[in-house]
Amino acid sequence: MIETIRKLVETYGPSGHEDKIREVILQEIEGLADEVTVDAMGSVIAWKRSGADDAPVVMLSAHMDEIGVMVTHVDEKGYLRFTNIGGLGLVTLIGNRVLFEDGTVGVIGVESGLEAGKAPTMEQLFIDVSTGDNGKGHNIRVGDAAGLLRNLEVRGDRLIAKSMDDRIGCALQIGVMRELKGQQIPNDVAFVFSVQEEVGLRGARAAAYAVDPDIGIAIDVTRTGDTPKAAPMDVSLGKGPAIKVKDSGMLAAPEVIALMEQAAERAGVPYQLEVLERGTTDSAAMQLVRAGVRAGTLSIPCRYVHTTSETVDINDVQNGVKLLVALLSERVQVEA
């Protein structure tokens, strides 16, 4: 699984520019689904069918996009000003590298005169893509997008990379598909790899309308409370995937919480309960589609979210796979 994770997290794919990561995902799931489509938004919808006419429909959704930047101005010396794609922590950007779709690598710099102890504003940052040829030296234009650049590091059970949010959810979902290959299951399952989550849950909303599920479960990362002086939160790395109860965008359906808890117990895997005070996931979009969908989220604990060093524990990922396999292997009861 680690090599799959490496391939996913190191691939370019800011929101709205998911072509390259989508191709990687399509390669990874080849032969694992009964039907695969790409919708008008660009999300991948991979169906595993039960063969039964009355089977419940379960939608899983992990978003393939990542945070990034977009060029707003190119000055006469070729330096780039930019705006955000998704939520950026400006204090973490200085000195980091970005990767444009054409392979150009830039360094984020900051204007001199930054007051000590204060975070920069977006207006004080720029991207340096100079080549030393006394000219502009690049073909980057206004509107071009870039993602953060950092390779995967493996430190024991801890995996460190950019875009664990939410490529780790994509990896988990691929792991579930691999485990279910060749198995007959009692539910019709739509494995969705959604686009544009970081800019408003857009891909999941469109996909959920098409899938029309009885149950929706997002797979995403969540913050932790296990670092020095962290905000109190009962989620830690290595103690199992987290079953969301609430975040700032949704209240999880009690029936879906119970389904995941029961599946964890059947699979014999540890789990944690999550209340996230800031942030939300694809489940918030799924929940409000059509006449409403019972929805919840399975989260992978992650330190340093929205930086180039997002950190997860491989055991939480593997236990998340086991939990969802156990859940999907029994007929989902959707009655209130």
φ, ψ for residue 199 (rounded to 5)? Answer: -115, 25
User: Any bridge partners for residue 159, and if so which?
Assistant: 154, 312
- On whether the CB atoms of residues 62 and 170 are closer than 8 A, the answer is yes
- On whether the CB atoms of residues 317 and 172 are closer than 8 A, the answer is yes
174: left (phi > 0), else alpha (psi -120 to 50), else beta?
A: alpha
Best CA proximity match to 152, nearest among 316, 40, 308, 42: 308
Catalytic residue among 10, 18, 197, 274: 197
- On whether the CB atoms of residues 185 and 329 are closer than 8 A, the answer is yes
From the CB of residue 311, how many other CB atoms can be counted at a distance below 10 Å? 20
- Our CA angle for 330, 332, 336, nearest 5°, is 150
Q: Per 3-state DSSP, what percentage of the chain is helix, strand, and coil (rounded to 5)?
A: 25, 30, 45
Whether 197 is catalytic is: yes
Q: Give DSSP secondary structure letters for 96-128.
A: -EEEETTS-EEEEEE-TTPPTT-PPPGGGEEEE
List, by residue number, the catalytic residues: 197
